[in-house]
Structure 1
Amino acid sequence: MSQTTTTPGPLLAPPAGAQSTVTRTAPASTADREIKRRRVLEILDAKGQDSLLLTTHTALTWYLDGSRVHISLAGDPIAALLVDRDGDHLVTFNNEAGRMAAEELPAGVSLHTVPWHGNLHEAAAAVGRSSGPAGSAGTPAGTPLAEAAVATELRAARQQLLPAESARYAHLSGELAGIMTDVLSTARPDTTEFELVSALAGRVVAAGAEPLVLLCNGSSRSDFRHPLATHTPLGRRAMAVVCARRDGLVANITRWVRFDAGTPEELDAESRIAAVEADIFDATVPGARLDRIFGEIKAAYVRHGFGAEQWEQHHQGGPAGYAGRDPRVTAAATDTVVLNQPFTWNPSGPGVKIEDTVQLTESGVKVLTVDDRWPTTTVNGLRRPVTLQL
């Protein structure tokens, strides 16, 4: 394993005579990053440790404040980061170092390299082995705390979005809502599911984001809650779902379109699922525990005529941000809701679902995935999307 600490200098300089092609700079906010580092140091203090090794997409993109640490969307991160009391040390493969330094590295983070065939985690752990006593839990001197050991604490540290990341999230969410309006407005009954999600994917990528989830069901496949697209035509109505990531943050949205007036049963179910969501929003308040909100979700399905078993047919969503759900709400989730925390709840029933990315503010739930061109109705004082009728 070779290891090189890089600073601005020859390793990262472009070849002589070459023109710079850098079109991206790390989005990180210095002010936000200082707060994030302080939060991690508080975790280390509580655990009696001197360093922490971050290895997952969620933790890395949060702590680096929006750096892209992936190549394959389905692959592991191409970087690992050691946070210790002396500073932040990012280790990446040698063939990734130039791009990371030019476009993704926040100020104040030291960059180290390992051969493309090396072990990122071992290299990152080795960065901090030169100093530091053994931890109180009996950890060998210099061995960093594993991310998994403080997963709950890290999740709490990223719950409350900071000003710069809140602005980035709102911008992404608004763009995603606009993309949905643009694409679904052009749909026709003979448009296939693949054609629709292809158009959505193209627009998402053009916006500088990564489409993590693309779902679509036409009227013949409306029973499926997670409908991967097929060559089936949309027919008389359809649902589209997109989860898109930019600068580490993941925005989630579901929209419906139909080509007739809808049946009375469909219109009734759409109204009732929006009422379920409104009850979830009412339960999403500072200090509420997720398991208690989960209880309210189950009760809301019964209250609005869907039956006690509907919550079992699909996950219900939960906190959002640097993961699609962080975490999915269950009876075992005991995290406490805080101000400025983002959420994506997604209650669903037979042939109906509602989903937007929102943020809990001092004035209540604020919907982020908003496009004023999309038709809405008022539900419990909040404008909520209805099916687009073409």
Structure 2
Amino acid sequence: MRRSTMAGTEREPRAHGGAAAAPSDRPAKLARIRELLDAHGAATLTLTTPENLAWLLDGARVQVPYAGAPVLTATVDRDGGIRVDAYANEVERLAAEELGGLELHPVPWSASLPDPAPGSILDTAHAAELRALRAPLLPAERARYRALGGELATAVGAVLRAARPELSERELAAELARAVVAAGAEPTVLLVAGEGRLDWRHPLPTAAPLGRRAIAVVGARRHGLVLSLTRWLRFGSADAAQLAADARLLEVEADAFAATRPGRTLGEVLGDIRASYERHGFGPEEWLRHHQGGPTGYLGRDPRATPAAPELVVAGQAYAWNPSAPRAKVEDTVVIDADGIEVLSVDPGWPTTTVRGLARPTELEL
């Protein structure tokens, strides 16, 4: 198999990437793959899913429709060689804009991408192990994620600061989508609810006006990495009872952060979050009314935390917890380190309050 030239170590920034892309950390990923191959006595690993391909290929855009199937596969051998098979009608663009330095093998668009060769293992047959390989972010990945977080949070903040009560939910969602695409990212989630629809935990936008209070939930992907955040805005004075509920929910989130410690399972973390709701004055079943989030990175939830989830928390892993209660929700994308938390989705101009030493977003008053 032809070896990759490891292009990307000194590559030019990609046209789609917004800020300049950080140097490639592909050699470290290839070392992780080598350990997986050794564990299974396999010659090669074939990657076919968007999350695994984007992870290996430095955040390359491997799909054409935002949620479509990849237009390529990548097969990695134990020496670090990478073979890319791609549809012929995509090869020139991929070579010019996404995969410089790798040799691409064209496949007619009318055919299927090739099946794995004998002796190869398939990523979909080892999903949990591939998830574990992706979990600890490498320096270049973290730099890309941090850049996306700052740019997107600031862009969302600018859109929300320009909102008006008569604006419809769909109009606000359209402005948020514009901001996401302008940042070189792809929308993955766009939820908006105005005053009359705040009881829904997943409010797909409608023609209803925002009214006195609104929520915006945004997910976006760039360089393969998915960023998630939730923001609230209101027009006029605050409701004291709502502010108190918001403050209690921030304590639930703080408990979630405290529970997310390397070596614990996701199920154990979720158990602590479940108990936190009742401890902070919410009903004992509140945690069941909406999922609580979980690890993130090359998928929005990688995986979603459930009571029996066996995946272990590792240092340097990204999380997007999203505790919620009636008309209350909080969410940011963070990295959990052994000695603390870095919030990635930070808008310096957004109002915040300090909860256990960490700045957390509050409602924007307009």
2: CA distance, partners of 1:27 / 1:113: 27
Residue 135 of structure 2: aligned partner:
159
Per-residue CA distance 1:25-61 (angstroms, 9 max, x = gap): 895734x100101101111110111111111111110
Is the partner of 1:383 in helix, strand or coil? strand
| Pair 1:173 & 2:149 matched | yes
Q: What's the % identity of the aligned pairs?
A: 52
Structure 2 counterparts to residues 1-390 of structure 1, below 5 A: 23=15, 27=21, 29-30=23-24, 32-86=25-79, 87-107=81-101, 109-122=102-115, 125=116, 129=117, 142-390=118-366
Give the paired residue count. Answer: 354
**Letter matched to residue 269 of structure 2:** I
**Letter matched to residue 40 of structure 2:** K
Structure 1 residues 330, 24: closer, same or farther in 2, change over 3 A?
closer
2: CA distance, partners of 1:196 / 1:361: 35
Conservation of the 8 A alpha-carbon contact between 2:219 and 2:226: yes
Look at both structures and tell me which one has the larger radius of gyration over its CA atoms.
1
**Letter matched to residue 249 of structure 1:** L
**Letter matched to residue 33 of structure 1:** R
Is the partner of 2:103 in helix, strand or coil? strand
Structure 1 residues 101, 333: closer, same or farther in 2, change over 3 A?
same
Per-residue CA distance 1:92-142 (angstroms, 9 max, x = gap): 1000000111111153x33111000111142xx2xxx4xxxxxxxxxxxx2
**Letter matched to residue 356 of structure 1:** D
1: CA distance, partners of 2:114 / 2:200: 40
Conservation of the 8 A alpha-carbon contact between 1:28 and 1:66: no
2: CA distance, partners of 1:361 / 1:329: 19
Is the partner of 1:378 in helix, strand or coil? strand
Q: Structure 1: give runs of 5+ residues left out of the alignment.
A: 9-21, 130-141
Conservation of the 8 A alpha-carbon contact between 1:27 and 1:67: no
Is the partner of 1:161 in helix, strand or coil? coil
Residue 9 of structure 2: aligned partner:
none
1: CA distance, partners of 2:283 / 2:204: 26
1: CA distance, partners of 2:333 / 2:4: 39
2: CA distance, partners of 1:6 / 1:294: 43
Per-residue deviation, 1:307: 1.0
TM-score normalised over the length of structure 1: 0.87
Structure 1 residues 93, 153: closer, same or farther in 2, change over 3 A?
same
Is the partner of 2:305 in helix, strand or coil? coil
Q: Structure 2: give runs of 5+ residues left out of the alignment.
A: 6-13
1: CA distance, partners of 2:23 / 2:215: 37
Conservation of the 8 A alpha-carbon contact between 1:28 and 1:67: no
2: CA distance, partners of 1:276 / 1:289: 18
Conservation of the 8 A alpha-carbon contact between 1:288 and 1:336: yes
**Letter matched to residue 113 of structure 2:** L
**Letter matched to residue 298 of structure 2:** Y
RMSD of the TM alignment (CA)?
A: 1.9
**Letter matched to residue 53 of structure 2:** L
Conservation of the 8 A alpha-carbon contact between 2:294 and 2:302: yes
Is the partner of 1:120 in helix, strand or coil? coil
- Comparing 98-107 with 349-358, which one deviates more in the overlay? 98-107
2: CA distance, partners of 1:340 / 1:284: 12
